[in-house]
Structure 1
Amino acid sequence: MATITAQQVQKLRETSGAGMMDCKNALVEANGDFDKAIQLLREKGKASAAKKAGRTTSQGLVSAWISPDGSKAGVVEINCETDFVARTKDFLDFAQNLARLAAEKTVSSADKLLAEKLGAETVEQTLKGVIGKLGENIQVRKSFTLGGNGGKGVIENYVHAPVEKAPLCGSLAVILQVAADKNSDDVKSLARELCMQVAAANPKWISKEDVPADIVAKEKEIYKEQCRQSGKPEQAWGKITEGKLNDFYKQFCLLEQSYIRDSKTPINSLLKQASDKAGAPLAVKGFVRLKMGEE
């Protein structure tokens, strides 16, 4: 039997939101397997599927950039040691330059971005200079991009808690691409609204068809175990499981979510209304939601 440490119990508690003893018992039952312990807690109704693990304590910010024609976008997370440094002009300039470079070169990897040229030097060489000037350890943590493949449509962004001196830098950024034949103001407005939806509701996938089969299967297993433990008759498990799965889709799939400005309107209906107005089909092609400090 694996030895369960206080640190393991604390980590599981922070991740799941369950009580200390529930976490310890789950780890003992799972023989120290962290993921299995989370599943056990969920089966017993002690933890939420929406809890996230591994938040960092680093300071820093995220920065977004969109090309003038709205065809490509990049978003990066840059970490440092103090909020003071994160607000300096040198740090903000560095973050904004990296977001632009990521978009222009279509680099969706922090490691690959370090190897790209930023002017006469590589990003890694430039980073060393910024570290030397600001006197803090600085890391390029994440890099993501959208567009750049010549497809029709528009990309918009939303930045939460923007820095006054750099409005495309903040604590959270979303970039989202809508496929459309024509980039009208209405399409751009829709894309901006959907960016705010993603920022507020934090979906993981665009549609329920995008959810990996293994995740769906795992959710169904958990729901059936919940039914078993609660004493529900077995003939009712199928209907209950489908209902819970639909709730899962409504929480984590963008098109199934309720619109943040009108809870009675699902996003797929909002998209259809916009398509009818545009006279042509509109579709969400992709999105990236990047929050400072999240795994």
Structure 2
Amino acid sequence: MSIKAADVKALRDQTGAGMMDCKKALTEANGDFEKAIEVLRKKGQKLSAKRADREAKEGVVLAKVSEDGSKGIVVKLSCETDFVAKNEDFINLTDSFAELALKEFPKDKEALLALPYDGTTVGEKIVEQVGVIGEKVELADYEKLEAPQVEAYIHMGNKAGVLVGLNKASEEYSEAGKNVAMQVAAMKPLALDEEGVDSSVVEKEIEIGKEIARKEGKPEEMLERIAMGKLNKFFKENTLLNQTYVKDGKMSVQQYLDSVDSGLTITDFKHIKLG
């Protein structure tokens, strides 16, 4: 049967598939628009299964904050190549998922994948896009954050996204929040403070400290004290509030926040990056 160019264009506009793929799908579906969409989705499912073991280390990370500034989300849509990651359609698709996540604020990644999207679900749309793009595509990560004030930062051309929550809200804190978010992107802290570090990590660091001191010939009775000193250094290097503030090496992040307003601090942070 004859397939109208307008129908091919309409299918392309809705799915993002190539013109020839859209024409083939419409031909296979005898001109039925909905069946043609299903044909494209099945193609995506087949290709998705074939490429399941591929590595998807490229992609787009976006962070967004609600209008009232009390909620934020960060999402990562992964693909196989930098070429696809830089494609405007792929960036726009990630942005639409981020907007939906901010609006619905799902509890986790699985809940986000199940949300209705464009007549299907986010998860099914992603599978469809595998057929459109020809690469493995996956919603690799999603985080959300609530606080009196949330600030977001997108690093290095959509290669990392950060959210930080402040314990107090004011327009005057916006710059400080963004500065700390940039600190997170640059210094990659493991936790907010000492209490946020897993006990197994603390125990391992103490044992490493003792072993180093022992090999250096330090007396056995001094090993614990030396190890605790090394642990404090570990906390300073790896916990956000204790880290040296990158824009002023004379103070910690918490001291910087106190300089903005006494008692101002970070309640939590989220950091998602490619790789």
Which bracket does the TM-score occupy, shorter chain normalised? 0.7 to 0.9
Deviations 1:211-257 (A, max 9, x none): 23332222112211222222111232233112101110011111110
Alpha-carbon shift at residue 91 of structure 1 (Å):
0.9
Identify unmatched segments of 5+ residues in structure 2: 1-54
The match for 1:136 is: 135
Alpha-carbon shift at residue 111 of structure 1 (Å):
2.9
Residue from 240, 261, 269 that aligns with 2:226 = 240
Does the 8 Å CA contact 1:113/1:123 hold for their aligned counterparts?
yes
Does the 8 Å CA contact 2:57/2:79 hold for their aligned counterparts?
yes
Does the 8 Å CA contact 1:109/1:142 hold for their aligned counterparts?
no
CA distance in structure 2 between the partners assigned to 1:84 and 1:58 by the alignment: 12
Q: CA RMSD in A?
A: 1.8
Residue from 157, 160, 167 that aligns with 2:155 = 160
The match for 1:286 is: 268
Alpha-carbon shift at residue 123 of structure 1 (Å):
0.4
Alpha-carbon shift at residue 57 of structure 1 (Å):
6.2
Deviations 1:28-54 (A, max 9, x none): xxxxxxxxxxxxxxxxxxxxxxxxxxx
The match for 1:71 is: 70
Amino acid at match of 1:285: T
CA distance in structure 1 between the partners assigned to 2:252 and 2:100 by the alignment: 36
Amino acid at match of 1:190: A
Question: Percentage identity across aligned positions?
Answer: 33
Does the 8 Å CA contact 1:62/1:172 hold for their aligned counterparts?
yes
CA distance in structure 2 between the partners assigned to 1:121 and 1:156 by the alignment: 31
Alpha-carbon shift at residue 283 of structure 1 (Å):
2.4
Q: Which has the higher helix share?
A: 2
Distance 1:82 1:214, change over 3 A: closer
Q: Normalising by structure 2, report the TM-score.
A: 0.75
Amino acid at match of 1:173: G
Alignment partner of 1:187 is 2:173 = yes
CA distance in structure 2 between the partners assigned to 1:290 and 1:233 by the alignment: 43
The match for 1:264 is: 250
The match for 1:102 is: 101
The match for 1:33 is: none
CA distance in structure 1 between the partners assigned to 2:252 and 2:236 by the alignment: 9
CA distance in structure 2 between the partners assigned to 1:172 and 1:249 by the alignment: 23
Alpha-carbon shift at residue 119 of structure 1 (Å):
4.0
Any residues of structure 2 matched to 1:1-295 within 5 Å, and which? 58-107=57-106, 109-147=108-146, 151=147, 153-162=148-157, 170-180=158-168, 183-276=169-262, 281-293=263-275
CA distance in structure 2 between the partners assigned to 1:234 and 1:58 by the alignment: 46
Identify unmatched segments of 5+ residues in structure 1: 1-55, 163-169
Does the 8 Å CA contact 2:159/2:274 hold for their aligned counterparts?
yes
Alpha-carbon shift at residue 128 of structure 1 (Å):
2.7
Describe the SS at the equivalent of 1:261.
coil
The match for 1:20 is: none
CA distance in structure 2 between the partners assigned to 1:235 and 1:282 by the alignment: 41
CA distance in structure 2 between the partners assigned to 1:154 and 1:125 by the alignment: 34
Q: After the TM superposition, which parts of structure 1 deviate over 4 Å for at least 4 consecutive aligned residues?
A: none
CA distance in structure 2 between the partners assigned to 1:250 and 1:210 by the alignment: 13
Deviations 1:107-132 (A, max 9, x none): 35333321111243210122133223
CA distance in structure 1 between the partners assigned to 2:171 and 2:87 by the alignment: 35
CA distance in structure 2 between the partners assigned to 1:272 and 1:187 by the alignment: 11
Equivalences, count: 221
The match for 2:24 is: none
